[in-house]
Structure 1
Amino acid sequence: ALAVVRDRPPGAPPPPPAPSPREVVRGLVSSWLEPGTRLGFWTHMGTQFSGQVFALMWGVPYLVAGQGFSTGAASAMLTLLVVAGIVAGPLFGEFTARHPLRRSWLVLAVLGITVAVWTAVLAVPPPAPTWLLCLLVVVLALGGPTSMIGFDYARTFNPGHRQGTAVGIINMAGFSATLAISLGVGVVLGIVGPGGYTPEAFRVAWTVQYAVWALALGGLLVARRRARRKLAAEGVVVPSLRTVLAERRRTPR
């Protein structure tokens, strides 16, 4: 790279000087005050962390010690998670491209399904049915592609010179939540099951996720309302789903 790659084509004008610390802070504040950035922030936080915590830290111990899986079967479940994410990614990307004014509904749907399936798994005395755990893994795989919608909010709501800053702010959300929940699950496991991992300790430990889901959902709804208010001021009206469905029924096929 040092021998071949250049920062700019030959003859291109020199880059502008690096911004001052005050300008950097001003850019961060301006990006955060943009409702679309906050909408992306809460989107990334609410949808990404659960699958990340499961795949990177606690999924295999939970399946082995908490659900009675063999190590090989637990590994197969993580493979299922990856494959489901590969399938969901292009589909969610196509939906976002075709229905940019409905992106938040996809986010809310995935967030709601994730909470519902986790609740069903934790409500069943372990070991849970294998089909239910497979469903959980597939649903967790949807969180990664959905969290990428947060970056699309950064693109469409911020001017070009602030998009990188907005993406950086949004990218912090899900990974910060992942670190916090990874730690929280471990702390609760140590308190509830000090002698080692047990199925009941895992049932209690996974409930720490609900705090982040509640925080993200509240922030998401508030930011969405403010983002739509800004769009309305710019002349972009987001029709209700009832209006859209009524118009489709009236439109001849």
Structure 2
Amino acid sequence: MSTIPTSEPAERRLRQAVVIWVVALSTYLLAVFHRSSLAVAGLVATERFGINAAQLSSFVMLQLLVYAGMQIPVGLLVDRFGPRRVLTTGAVVLTLAQTGFAFAETYPAALVARLFVGMGDAMTFICVLRLVNTWFGARRIPLITQLTGVLGQMGAILAAAPMTVALRELGWTRAYLAAASMGIVLVVLLVLFVHDAPGRRSHRGPQLRPDEIRASLAASWEHPGTRLGFWMHFSTQFSATTLGMLWGYPFFVRGEGQSQAAAGVLLTVMVVAVMSAGPVLGWRITVRPWHRSTLVLSIVGAIVTVWTVVLAWPGQAPFWLLLLLVVVTGVGGPASMIGFDLGRTSNPAERMASATGIINQGGFYASLVLVVAIGVILDWRTPGSSSAYTPEAFRWAMSFQYVLWGLGLTQVWRYRRQTRAWLREHEPDWVAQHATPRR
């Protein structure tokens, strides 16, 4: 009687990879929770700290600025010290920062706390992607990467309706302390279970001289695939990020006349749309990698179209249209992950983390600009108090997105042509296999 041989070492490695991914993913989920926890607390924050719209937006502006600015340094730190150490440090920083935010009673103290939230947040995602690229096979990486982004967005769900209830029932300090306490558990799990590579608990790369760092970053950025990934990330993410992090709740309540409960439902539906679309997009770019940029252009076009209908609607938009808005806009979240796949296939392994850091800046710089612009425009159109925001003011403010879409789509189209030309010259066999004949 014959038996089918099994590869126990391979199965054991896969089980270990899944455990490591789940722990790292949970840390990223918590980072998204902390990042998004201000979205439903914006109106409460204006009262607690006595601030206007521009000052409120400065919380997210500072957080995004720190996050985006740290992407390349964090990528270099991961290449040097390994993802385990950097990810654990990020979880500690997030826990301490959110604790400080819980006790903050003045605007400057709260700003400092959000600065460190952005710093801890910046140390998570690149680490998780590095672990995915190390522990999983090449064919699994696009799907696992999409699942990482998608499941991580559950943190935004926990920061929507549950955080709204916690703020109402527990108050500001106890609600944010409860959120901070979750980080203690994850730090323990990271120390116990995460390994940088098979057979190696911690990785330490070679120390790079400043000229080597500059050369590595320049080589990554010089490749048109990295630039295409950057502008894909820039164009797809900012609308959903801005709604989810700060301005969605006030926009739906003050701009569109929805109840607080309905606004929470809309934000939750947007996150569900993010989670639902991710695996589909991951499968799509795996089977048709040549058309990754076409997929991004189509998704951004749909987002622009629905926003145009909402902003042009006479009076306040109906609930069904706002539902469509958050669903279509939410797809932009996992669509931004396609940029990382461009970075992965355009750079060697030793530049992977730094290239990911470059690409990951795109959407967050766009989100930063939009968050600040909305606050400034709202104060311009409704001077005086945040309680006076009008639907007209929100139409003016949300229309600033067209500036960013115009820039992003132009650059995606530009670097799509350059990337395809590079592939035809340097990877003709790959093009012959994946590209459909041009008509």
Establish whether TM, by shorter chain, passes 0.5.
Answer: yes
C-alpha spacing 1:97/1:69, structure 2 compared with 1 (3 Å): same
Give the structure 1 partner of residue 404 of structure 2: 212
Q: Is the 8 A contact 1:41 1:150 kept in 2?
A: yes
Within 2, Cα distance between the matches of 1:10 and 1:134?
A: 48
Give the structure 2 partner of residue 156 of structure 1: 345
Within 2, Cα distance between the matches of 1:103 and 1:222?
A: 14
Is 2:414 the partner of 1:222?
yes
Give the superposition deviation at 1:193: 1.3
C-alpha spacing 1:241/1:53, structure 2 compared with 1 (3 Å): farther
In the TM superposition, 1:1-253 aligns within 5 A as: 15-195=204-384, 196-234=388-426, 235=428, 236=431, 239=435, 243=439
Within 2, Cα distance between the matches of 1:75 and 1:108?
A: 29
Alignment identity in percent? 46
- Give secondary structure in 2 for the equivalent of 1:182: helix
Give the superposition deviation at 1:42: 0.3
Question: Residues 53-77 of structure 1: CA distance to partner in whole angstroms, max 9, x if unpaired?
Answer: 0111110101100111110110010
Question: Residues 114-147 of structure 1: CA distance to partner in whole angstroms, max 9, x if unpaired?
Answer: 1111111101123112111111000111011100
Give the superposition deviation at 1:180: 1.0
Within 2, Cα distance between the matches of 1:35 and 1:126?
A: 44
Give the superposition deviation at 1:5: 6.6
Within 2, Cα distance between the matches of 1:99 and 1:4?
A: 35
Within 1, Cα distance between the matches of 2:333 and 2:216?
A: 27
Within 1, Cα distance between the matches of 2:339 and 2:221?
A: 13
Give the superposition deviation at 1:85: 1.2
Within 2, Cα distance between the matches of 1:178 and 1:204?
A: 17
Greater shift, 150-159 or 230-239, is seen at 230-239
Q: Is the 8 A contact 1:41 1:173 kept in 2?
A: yes
- Give secondary structure in 2 for the equivalent of 1:37: helix
For the aligned residues, what is the CA RMSD?
2.2
1:57 maps to a residue whose letter is L
Within 1, Cα distance between the matches of 2:273 and 2:383?
A: 35
Question: Residues 104-123 of structure 1: CA distance to partner in whole angstroms, max 9, x if unpaired?
Answer: 11100110001111111101
C-alpha spacing 1:241/1:136, structure 2 compared with 1 (3 Å): farther
- TM-score computed with the length of structure 2 as normaliser: 0.53
- TM-score computed with the length of structure 1 as normaliser: 0.89
Give the superposition deviation at 1:203: 0.4
Q: Is the 8 A contact 1:81 1:137 kept in 2?
A: yes
